Every structure is written in structure tokens, then in C-alpha cells.
Homo-oligomer: A and B are copies of this chain.
């Protein structure tokens, strides 16, 4: 991976589908992941090992891991929130996991049914367990950039959480803009602080709630961030924050970076067929732009002025 290269983790099968009311069958989820596996993603978040009563769309993620056709170039990851989820993930041989705690007391209570402190402890303990079991683990902070209920989040709280995740042995830190409140100026301030205490790669999980997503991606890229979560077609968001959908459309972010001369390794043509398949299944147009516009030469997405 060159310094200009960008690492996209595809979150559609997890963060995308968990926000869809129409259920996807297990076979449809397998088909989606297998198709994404042919697009060149370095990592795909396949699903989550959470309570199926709370997130029915993510039931049977165990079986999913057995049924997908693994591409050796792809890391297949999943989300866990507690030890039970970790056990289920380990039982089906998952090699990479993500786990998150919220920096907002209000959101933590809603999403994880615990305080920020308790959620942080839980993540620390999960990181330790993952390391003991030889599973690579990314740890993340949700609601870093503000919370609909709580408002602004003290940066020191975020830094304390990140420090503890680093000490516990997380291999990557993820900062999530759960409410979509981040703006580039604030994002840069926060990144500067976090970069000051964290020498590990940082990843951003940005929501496009207010239309600031791509500007935030760019601001982060300027700050040296090269890892982003996105969702094919623009599926997704957090089901516990009303209307806080959704993730940035993967194809638009890939197009954006390729236009700027950064390589993602992702085949845009193939990805567009994934989005088309999702739209057929869902019976509606997804928010991504690239797949709906007359495609000019995909190999030359940028119109860099020439002399």
C-alpha cells in the first residue's frame, strides 16, 4: 500500500443491511458478500454477532461465515459488542473483529445499554480477549463528533478512550461520526488531538446525515487518514438514532479518490453491478451518485487540467 493509497472497508453487509426493513435472506447476504469479494475490497464487514432480537437483520451471521466463498485477498471482519459475540465469532473462525464504545453517555445507554465508562471497559476487555485468542481487533469510538441528545462531546473523553484501547492492544483505532455532526474544521481539530496520542493507523466511519460526509473524507485525507468505512450504494446508518442514515456510498468515495489520483484497488465497474443488484432486490434507488450517471471513462475519472 503506497502512501497515496486508500483502504476502504466495505460496511454494506453489516451497517447497510441492519438498517433495511425488508429482510435479506441468508442466501441473499451470501450472494452480496460474494459479489463484493470480486470488487477488490481489502476488507469486508460481513455482519455482526449481536442479539438478533435487537438487530434481526444480523441473525445467523455464524452461518454466513460458513457459506461465503472466501477470496484470499479479502479480510472478512465482523462487529462484536460483548464476550458472547466474541465467542460466536471465534467459533466460526473469524480472523478480524471490530468493537465500539460510544463517547456519548446518552448514546451509550441507548445503543449499548451502559455508561461510557462501562462501555469502554467492555471494549478494553474484548481487545484483551481477542489478543489472547489470536484475533486481530479494531477498536472504535462512536459519537466522537457530537450526539443528538448530549450535544458536544469533550475531546478529553475521546482521548481517554483511545488511550485505553491502545494500551489494551487494539491494532487500529476507528473514530465514528455516528450522528453525522462532524464538519471538516472540527474533524481536523479532533484528528490532530488523536494523532498526538496515537501512532497506529486511524480509520474513520463517517455518516452523511447532513451532507458533510465527502467534505469530511477530504479533510481527513488532508490530515493523512487513509482508511475509511463506506457502504455500497449508501445503505446504512445507526438504527438507534432516528434518520441518522447513512454511510457514504462506497462507489462515490472510490470515484472521489480515483479522481484525485489515489488508488483504492476497487473495480468501480463491478461495484456498480453490486449496487444495481441491491436496487433490484430493494425495489428502490439507492443514494449513491456514480452508479446512476452516464459513466464516462472509469479509468480516467478525473479531468485534471492539462497544459
Contact = CB atoms under 8 A, between A and B. Distances in A.
B212 A256 contact: yes
A217 B216 CA distance: 11
Contacts of A210: 252, 255-256, 259, 289-290, 293
Given A156-B307, A218-B184, A148 B296 contact: yes
Contact of A305 (B154, B217, B252): B154
A256 B154 contact: no
A1 interface: no
Between A210, A290, A294, A300, the greatest number of chain B beta carbons within 10 A of the residue's beta carbon is seen for A210
A73 interface: no
Interface in A117-162: 145-148, 151-156, 158
A70 to B, nearest CB: 32
Contact of A218 (B154, B155, B219, B294): B219
A211 interface: yes
Interface residues of A, number: 52
Interface stretch (A51-59, A86-94, A185-193): A185-193
A155 B305 contact: yes
Interface in A270-307: 288-290, 292-294, 296, 300, 302-307
Report, nearest first, the 3 A-B pairs whose CB atoms are least far apart: A146-B303, A155-B305, A215-B218
29 contacts: A145-B303, A146-B302, A148-B296, A151-B296, A151-B300, A151-B303, A152-B304, A153-B305, A154-B306, A155-B307, A179-B303, A181-B259, A185-B260, A186-B305, A189-B304, A189-B305, A190-B305, A209-B293, A210-B290, A210-B293, A211-B214, A211-B252, A212-B259, A213-B214, A214-B215, A215-B217, A215-B218, A218-B219, A243-B293
